[in-house]
Amino acid sequence: MPRRVVVAADARADLQALFAYIAEHDSLAAAERVLAGLREAAASLAEQPLRGRIPQEMQLLGRTDFREIVVHKTYRIIYRVEEDAVVVYGVADGRRDMQGFLYRRLVR
């Protein structure tokens, strides 16, 4: 049975920031393409929530309750599978300081 996919407020802000950055530094078409891919990947978690891997940065912190999927080879969707939903907590460019991002966002 499919789970609901919930995108947390921080993750929605991440998507808006990524869209704005790509549109400014590449093109509007590229930003739309990336955003569509991220949305499609997040929606697909409703059917296959456990397909993502545990982020290595979270494993180093002893946390195995979060998972990630990678979209367009660069963008990481960080989520947790809960009893009746999949909650997306963050979306980030994997080229950034992911350990710091994940610690600030998920461990606090």
Q: List pLDDT tens digits, range 14-71.
A: 999 999 999 999 999 999 999 999 999 999 999 999 999 999 888 888 889 999 999 9
CATH number of 4-107: 3.30.2310.20
Q: How many CB atoms are located within 10 Å of the residue 105 CB? A: 17
Instruction: Quote the pTM value.
Output: 0.90
Q: 28-44 and 9-25 helices cross at what angle (nearest 10)?
A: 150
Q: Coil, strand, or helix at residue 9?
A: helix
Domain ranges across the chain: 4-107
